[in-house]
Amino acid sequence: MAEEFRIVLFGPPGAGKGTQAQLLAEQLGIPHISSGDLFRHHLRAETPLGLRAADYMRQGLLVPDDLTIDIILERVMAINSEEGFMLDGFPRNRHQAEVLDDALERRSRALDKVVCIDVPEGELLRRLAGRFSCRECQAPHSIPQDASAEVADASPFPQCDHCGGELYQREDDRPEAIRKRIEVYQAETLPVLGYYRDRRILAEVPGTDSVEGVNQKVLTVLGR
Ligand code: AP5
Ligand code: MG
């Protein structure tokens, strides 16, 4: 049986949250809940939520709490309470963090660990400029920057390593949206780390190593 873990993967845009979450979900056997993936799913399906979130996402701004909190908590609470979960991209401000804690507490549960993946800004810019994501499963892929233009124009489009879906560049991976997302992270999301540090559940992991190297470090702070 999978071990019960309630984890938040935290870090700036491009730190590798999605990349690590995919590995960890398999290694730990717990479901991965990504707020960004959920919004992109709604965007693609042109649901009312997707249409309302679209402009904020395109600009690299946080989607307002009244559109975000309910859909994430609904997912978290739908999970069998013994199963655990891994959140990626939520919480992103103090209010979201408090609401999550309250909801878990009502079920006599609490987060086990918040793992922050730390990557310097120059490397984030480099990674996001070369990122292609899968339209189907949303898995991120790295394409070296000098090959990115070629890949973006390729026909048929290159395919996802995991599910064979079509790869595309996210609209918020344009340079001005990337800059805004980093700015928003520093102003609104980074302060949440203090909240978790005070609760003694924060682990900070350098994210500049290889994907496998970062994965080992994350497993170590999770006691695995
Ligand atoms: P979201 O989808 O969460 O985006 P993000 O936080 O900006 O993070 P990214 O997905 O860009 O990066 P990542 O850390 O997952 O990195 P990845 O693994 O892909 O949110 C998007 C938008 O949705 C927000 O801007 C907001 O509008 C809205 N939103 C979402 N949640 C919200 C919330 N809670 N409240 C309000 N609004 C919300 O890796 C990046 C690249 O690097 C890839 O190419 C990957 O292959 C490569 N890579 C990964 N690890 C390594 C490594 N170790 N070495 C070299 N390359 C690596
Ligand atoms: Mg991601």
- What type of residue is 56? Y
35 inside domain: yes
Residue 147 CA to residue 115 CA, distance in Å, equals 32
CA angle, residues 86, 87, 90, in degrees to nearest 5: 170
Is-above-0.85 flag for pTM?
Answer: yes
- φ/ψ region of 3 (left if φ > 0, alpha if ψ in -120 to 50, else beta) reads beta
| Confidence at residue 156, expressed as pLDDT on a 0 to 100 scale | 66
Q: Does residue 150 sit within a domain?
A: no
**Residue 78 located in a structural domain:** yes
Give me the CATH number covering residue 64: 3.40.50.300
Domain-embedded: residue 145: no
Atom 49 in ligand 1: which residue has the minimum CA distance?
16
Locate the DSSP E strands across 39-152. Answer: 85-88, 113-118, 131-134, 140-142
Question: Roughly how many angstroms between the first and final C-alpha of the chain, as a whole number?
Answer: 15
User: Rounded to whole angstroms, how far apart are CA atoms 94 and 99?
Assistant: 9
* 175 within a domain of the structure (yes/no): yes
- For position 4, what pLDDT does the model report? 74
Q: How many domains would you assign to the chain?
A: 1
Residue whose CA lies nearest to ligand 1 atom number 20: 36
* Residue 65 located in a structural domain: yes
If one residue of 32, 86, 99, 131 were mutated to test the ligand 1 pocket, choosing by the most ligand atoms within 8 A of its CB, it would be: 131
pLDDT, tens only, 188-215 = 999 999 999 999 999 999 999 999 999 9
Cis amide leading into 64 (omega within 30): no
- The alpha carbon of 56 and the centre of ligand 1 are apart by a number of angstroms equal to 15
> Can you give the residue range of the structural domain that contains 48?
6-130+169-219
Separation of CA 108 and ligand 1 centre (Å): 30
- Along the 224 residues of the chain, how does pLDDT read in single tens digits? 456 799 999 999 999 999 999 999 999 999 999 999 999 999 999 999 999 999 999 999 999 999 999 999 999 999 876 789 999 999 999 999 999 999 999 988 999 999 999 999 999 999 999 999 999 999 999 987 676 677 777 766 789 999 999 999 999 999 999 999 999 999 999 999 999 999 999 999 999 999 999 999 999 999 98
Q: Whose CA is nearest to atom 1 of ligand 1?
A: 36
The ligand with the least distance to the CA atom of 117 is 1
Which residues form the catalytic set? Answer: 17, 92, 131, 170, 181
190: closest CA among 123, 92, 89? Answer: 92
Ligand 1: which residue has its CA nearest to atom 9? 13
Atom of ligand 1 nearest to the CA of 209: 53
Q: How far apart are CA 210 and CA 66, in angstroms?
A: 37
Strands laid side by side in the 202-206 sheet: 32-34, 85-88, 6-10, 113-118, 202-206
Residue 92 included in any domain = yes
**Ligand 2 centre distance from Cα of residue 141 (Å):** 11
What residue ranges line ligand 1, CB within 6 angstroms? 11, 13-19, 35-36, 39, 56-57, 60-63, 68, 89-90, 92, 96, 127, 131, 140-142, 172, 181, 207, 210-211, 214
In a domain, 224, yes or no: no
The length of the chain is 224
